[in-house]
Amino acid sequence: MRTFAAGLTVPTVMSGVPFVIYYYFGMVAVIFGTLYLLAVALCREWVKTDLRERICEPVSIRWRPLAWRTNAVTCSFRVVYTDFHGLTHRAICSVYWHRRSVFWIEDEII
């Protein structure tokens, strides 16, 4: 135990019970984080599938984690793709976590 000037005592070694509690909370956070990143990867695959169904070739698909146009159940991506004419497009799309529908917000030819 360390004693400070105001009479405050702080333990220098953590006992077993708080350590186990912090360990379990940390493991729960890791599990939820992993599930979140797996859901983003699944949404990214849905964007690729949607592009291929439209006979387009994805060049770059980047996740936008802090996109302001999305809500809690969607993820947004910035997409660069080529269409069947060979034109390159830059687009922004949004995908819901629980269904395969892709919403194209912006699409421009570059």
CB 2 within 8 Å of CB 10:
yes
For residue 69, give the amino acid letter: R
Q: What percent of the chain has pLDDT over 90?
A: 41
The model's pTM: 0.74
- Residue 2: the pLDDT is 60
Question: Distance of alpha carbon 78 from its chain centroid, rounded?
Answer: 13
pLDDT confidence tier of residue 1, bands split at 50, 70 and 90: low
Average pLDDT over residues 58-79: 84
Reduced DSSP (H G I as helix, E B as strand, rest coil) percent helix, strand, coil of the chain, to 5: 35, 35, 30
pLDDT confidence tier of residue 96, bands split at 50, 70 and 90: confident
Q: Is the pLDDT of residue 15 over 70?
A: no
Q: Which stretches of 1-110 are DSSP H helices? A: 16-53
